[in-house]
Structure 1
């Protein structure tokens, strides 16, 4: 059996990075994914005013370690479209008030940038496409 998660969505905030005492870099992301909202009969719901499909958004906590985390922190920014491949990780802890808490996160093994990030230079003027380059 394999624990694999594949998600494509937008970052809800800029990545946050911290280092442990053991020099491990940990970068966390908040990623939103959306799907069409359905009514009790299973039909896709439309907004009465605009006619657009109503979306249900779910938020996911993504954790990246060391080199991957550094790369994500350097290039990713709020609103950017990314793809994540990783694994589910469940945690259990007791908070400062003695209440048992549970959480779920995705430990990223691969992050793909599907839109431009911080370091992408904005083109100046008109771009010319090379007809000799195959797509």
Structure 2
């Protein structure tokens, strides 16, 4: 049996990091992927003549060292590849209603483009080199 996810997309918002009471560092990002939109089973063009797209947003969770690198070197708009596994959660909210969630637990995040340099410790001068062949 296998639970493997590979996503290639853009980071939709800057990473958010928190630390658990046990000292585990957790960084969350949202990665957006696009696919051709369909009407009546066929792709179609938008008002500008381009193939219309449907976007999906994926919640990605990175732990410890991986999460620290993602927080340090990634930013909104950056293209990444994420490899990991699907994780489903279930909980009850404050009203007692059962809620369900889905996230990708990342094992690996590859930076396909460099993030922006905005003075918020995301200069990327120390980031790993990117093959631009």
Q: Structure 1-normalised TM-score?
A: 0.85
In 2, Cα distance between equivalents of 1:24 and 1:84: 20
Q: Distance in 1 between the 2:90 and 2:37 partners?
A: 31
Return structure 1 stretches of 4+ with deviation > 2 angstroms. 118-121
Question: Paired residue for 1:87?
Answer: 85
Q: Choose which of 104, 114, 119 in structure 2 pairs with 1:116.
A: 114
1:104 pairs with 87, 102, 110, which one?
A: 102
What TM-score comes out, normalization by structure 2 length? 0.87
DSSP 3-state at the match of 1:91: strand
Larger Rg: 1
Q: CA deviation at 1:120?
A: 3.1
Give ranges in structure 2 of 5+ residues lacking alignment.
116-121, 126-132
Distance 1:82 1:12 in 2: 11
Q: 5+ residue gaps in structure 1? A: 122-134
Q: 1:43 deviation in Å?
A: 2.2
* Structure 1 vs Structure 2 CA RMSD: 1.1
